Chains A and B, each alone.
Chain A
Amino acid sequence: MEDQEVIREFLVESYENLSSLDQKFVELEKHPKDAALLASIFRTIHTIKGTCGFLAFSTLEKITHQAESILSQLRDGERELSRPLVSLIFETVDAIRKVLASIEASGEEGPDRFENLTERLRAAAQLTAGSESKSRSDRAGSNQVDQQSDSRTESQDELHNNTTASELRPEEDGAKPSAVADANIRVGVGLLDKLMDLVGELVLTRNQILQFNAEREDAALNATSQRLNLITTELQEGVMKTRMQPIGMVWNKLPRVVRDIAVSLGKQIRLEMDGAETELDRTIIEAIKDPLVHLVRNSCDHGIEPPEVRVRAGKPPLGRLTLRAYHEGGQVNIEIGDDGAGVDLARVKQKAIENGLLRPEQAEKLSDREALNLIFLPGFSTAQTVTNVSGRGVGMDVVKSHIEKIGGVVDAFSRPGEGTTIKIKIPLTLAIIPGLVITSGGERFVIPQVSLLELIRLEGDSVEKHIEHVQGTPVYRRRGSLLPIAYLNQVLGLKSAEGAAAVSVVVLQAEDRQFGLVVDGINDTQEIVVKPLGKQLKGLTVYAGATIMGDGRVALILDVLGIGQRSGVIAEFREQTHAAVETKTRSGIEQQRLLLFRAGTFARLAVPLSLVARLEEFPQSAIEHAGGGPVVQYRNRILHLVPLRNVLEPGTPEPVQVPDPVQVVVLNDGDRSVGMVVDQILDVAEEAVTVRQKSSRKGLLGSAVVGKLVTDFVDLNDVIQGAAETWFQGTSGLANGKTILVAEASAFSRGLIRSGLDMAGYRVIEAANLSEAIGKLEQQPVDAVVAALDLPPTGTSALIAAMRLRPEWGAIPVLALAESVEQVRERTGDAADFHDCQVKFDREAMLASLARLASALTSSAAAPVRVGEALVGAELAGVELVSLEREW
């Protein structure tokens, strides 16, 4: 037991010594002749050697012994400090750390004997010992520090070293550390945390006493409790301060990091640190450690150029890396700046395109600032080559997420040729945050104030009036735009008081989304002490932690993002790739009704229900053959049947057992119909479609998750082609032959829009973004444009502006498609921009609008659109059809 204690002491001491060593070595490289510094380093190593000899750690002893030999030569001026030598010593320090870690973990030195290193150390030590002088002067001589003749390479007996050390002490930091040691004691973090908890408890007790005091009129009690109040507050502040640590704690190891990188990359870098004494809560210090190291590595690796490049650019060969920390407005700012080449934005864009994070057209439109922020995207690295320093795929995105996790922000600033600065803003402490206390279902919860936007109270009639439902989803009209609503009691499965007269809505922001959370009551705001939940509760994403309220009871802190995701107002999965540019991601907006069915080997297929006229069953006996395909007589017409199986899996043999009756999905438009033969109708689903994958298979648009199962979407275009002849024989095809340009980023959405237009007989060409759209317009005449409002890169207005520049395009009607009713409402005012706006996937409205637009624009550009004119539009649109029919 006693031995354990000794070893622990040894470890603590050695670690401490080693951490100071790193800095001393870097210092030493600048002043290789600094005797005091050398002696101090020598003493550190010597102490470790001495102790491990005593504790019988032989490997450690061997390594330190050899290192000590070299150091003593250096100290005594027998040899010059060279870079290889410093690297060798650093390696030794690392080896010592490894052994110490092993001792800490297992009590033993571990299997690695570091023979190679010991051998090299010995060789290095003997290099001078052999070549220079073996003459060992007497001890008296050595005390004179006769640098030329005094050589103590091999024997470092205790007495000798003690005398040397004591002699050197006055002129180095010998006196200072002891003063520091007197003024400071080491306290375990556990103890501090416990003190903090106890103070919290004391605060609660104090609150109770104060309340108690208020109830009676006792002068003595009053005075005492006032005093208790003051002392408690002071104590609380004092204990909080003990948890603060200077950021220098983290910076300490950076000189070594910078030095190592500079050596390995052949660069010259000077590290300047300003504000190392800036204090932060220790949990935050812990959290920014890795990101900081990463940023510094990045600056050394990508930022600062090799000396020859710098000289060519007219800069001093020595690169400068600056670390700055300072308090500002209750936050801590940390800046990591270099005077290197700056971020090559062209390269960043190119890289983003290569990595599929960005489309080329999007890249063109990015501002410099946006382009610079691309470096924070996942899977991004501009390193030309992967070095062991940085550029291994874990990059700035990790830094960003780490910083954001502790409530901080990262920003990058860069000027070509002048350097890059990364600015981090973090809160002083995570332990105490302001929070809003609310109740739901009889329980109290706390919402972190950072996520809070506003509070809305709805009373009486206005409750029903203001919370409306869009396809079953509650929304609230907030200043003209729709805010999705979630009920906290439903999210958490709690019972709420029935028939409440008033409803409180807390408007929250998570990431870049906003939503309203309905709660039973809003209490007040408080500074709360955040405590983590036990691991049994870690899996619950709806909580960020817990806190203790004034009455001593525990209250849970809500995780706003988790609540949003759980309630469905924030999509849990987002398309990662375009997140940067399409910040307004769609969630729960591409909601539509789908018909689900099965055909052939495809267990789950879907088509938009809006395209389906009816579902029918026909007995096999009713099926006849005409025009080379199966047909049935249906409502006094001939309905062509297209077995979906043949479209999806052409060439597969017919099943032995022909189903009877056959299931037919009747797709129709006006007088034209086609029957799609499927194996089984499964269900009708109403779903926010999150597109997963585009399909290259004929007959399929792509796959998406519907009702938690992967579902393939049928490309009705291909189905219709199966019955093409009959389709175009239709008599009222008002749009036949008209060419529509569909401009929409999502291939999947494009496909759905296309099928709606195809069904109506339009000829459809597609474009995924602005430049593609312009290209398509240039290639062929287009009768109308259907464009998504969020058309990349900047929206429909850019397309319209581009079209206005060319007279022949100016007259082409543009129908904008919005993601939601909300958007339509918001944008109808912009009618000057486009000619009409409809909700995406509302096929009827889209077709009606197109017909209307055709009429309005061809008859009189300025005439207001009236419903009746749709008929005129139909006739006009039919002109081309007539000629087609003549040919027929």
Chain B
Amino acid sequence: MATDSATLKSERAQTSGQFSTFFVADLFFGVDVLRVQELLRFQQMTRVPQAPEVIEGLINLRGQIVTAIDMRRRLRLPQRTGDRAPMNMVVRTDDGAVSLLVDEIGDVVDVDEATYERPPENLDPAARELIRGVYKLKDRLLLVLDTDRTVDLAAGRKA
């Protein structure tokens, strides 16, 4: 238990306390603001035939080619309905920028470290693998997205 709380603490220490939030289906996610490079409207995509299906395509971000990952498919959620185009949340990773396609962008929220908790065990495994933890906000739960694992498709396949 002692080690558990120690890791909890170190997990918290990695964040800045501010999260850029977004929605995917009815899930409310947050990514550390320091990891977010920019937010963009839906861009023209170049499809990549034969690519893993979670990859929506490639976008041109000021001369940089960025891979766009569809978060609905990444989380194994049902497809987006209606004609609302998804938004690009471009996050920084060790391998350069990667765009996450999300349903809607939310506000930047400050969180209270005391409300942090590990993800509940009964989450869908596809989602649980990508969720680092949960902040219990007043009106809803903020799921902290593990961006490194999200963009690492190989790890996802293994699990």
Contact = CB atoms under 8 A, between A and B. Distances in A.
Interface string B35-47: 0000000001011
Given A493-B49, A493-B50, A198 B63 contact: yes
Interface stretch (A42-50, A247-255, A532-540): A532-540
Interface in A351-377: none
B49 A534 contact: no
A767 to B, nearest CB: 46
A172 interface: no
B69 interface: yes
B49 A494 contact: yes
B50 A540 contact: yes
A886 interface: no
B60 A548 contact: yes
Contacts of A536: 51-52, 55, 67, 69, 98, 151, 153
A533 B65 CA distance: 7
A534 B63 contact: no
Given A534-B96, A536-B69, A552 B60 contact: yes
A35 to B, nearest CB: 50
B64 A537 contact: no
A323 to B, nearest CB: 35
Contact of B46 (A441, A443, A540, A542): A443
Given A534-B95, A534-B98, A554-B58, A200 B67 contact: no
A201 interface: yes
A552 B62 CA distance: 9
B60 A197 contact: no
A198 B61 CA distance: 10
B50 A197 contact: no
A63 interface: no
B66 interface: yes
Contact of B65 (A441, A492, A531, A540): A531
Contact of B60 (A196, A492, A554): A554
Nearest to B52: A536
A492 B153 contact: no
A534 B55 CA distance: 11
Interface of chain A: mostly helix, strand, loop or mixed: mixed
Given A553-B44, A556-B48, A537 B55 contact: yes
Most interface-central of B60, B67, B95 (chain A CB within 10 A): B60
A554 B98 contact: no
Contacts of B145: none
B90 interface: no
A397 B21 CA distance: 52
A443 B47 contact: yes
A441 B49 contact: yes
Interface hub of B62, B63, B152, B153 (most chain A Cβ within 10 A): B63
B101 interface: no
B72 to A, nearest CB: 16
B129 to A, nearest CB: 16
A555 interface: yes
Interface in B75-101: 95-96, 98
B116 to A, nearest CB: 27
A535 B152 CA distance: 8
B50 A542 contact: yes
A443 B49 contact: yes
B59 interface: yes
A534 B66 contact: yes
Interface in A540-578: 540, 542-543, 546, 548, 552-556
Given A197-B64, A200-B63, A536-B67, A555 B153 contact: no
A1 to B, nearest CB: 16
A548 B50 contact: no
A534 B95 CA distance: 7
Interface in A456-496: 492-494
Given A546-B65, A554-B65, A537 B48 contact: yes
B65 A548 contact: yes
A492 B50 contact: yes
Contacts of B152: 535
26 contacts: A197-B62, A198-B63, A443-B49, A493-B49, A494-B49, A531-B64, A533-B58, A533-B67, A535-B95, A535-B152, A536-B52, A536-B55, A536-B67, A536-B69, A536-B151, A540-B48, A540-B50, A542-B50, A546-B46, A546-B58, A548-B60, A548-B65, A552-B44, A553-B60, A556-B46, A556-B58
Given A536-B51, A548-B60, A548-B65, 18 more contacts: A198-B63, A201-B62, A204-B63, A441-B49, A492-B49, A494-B49, A533-B58, A533-B65, A533-B67, A535-B95, A535-B151, A536-B52, A542-B50, A552-B60, A554-B46, A554-B59, A554-B60, A556-B46
3 closest A-B pairs by CB: A197-B63, A492-B49, A534-B67
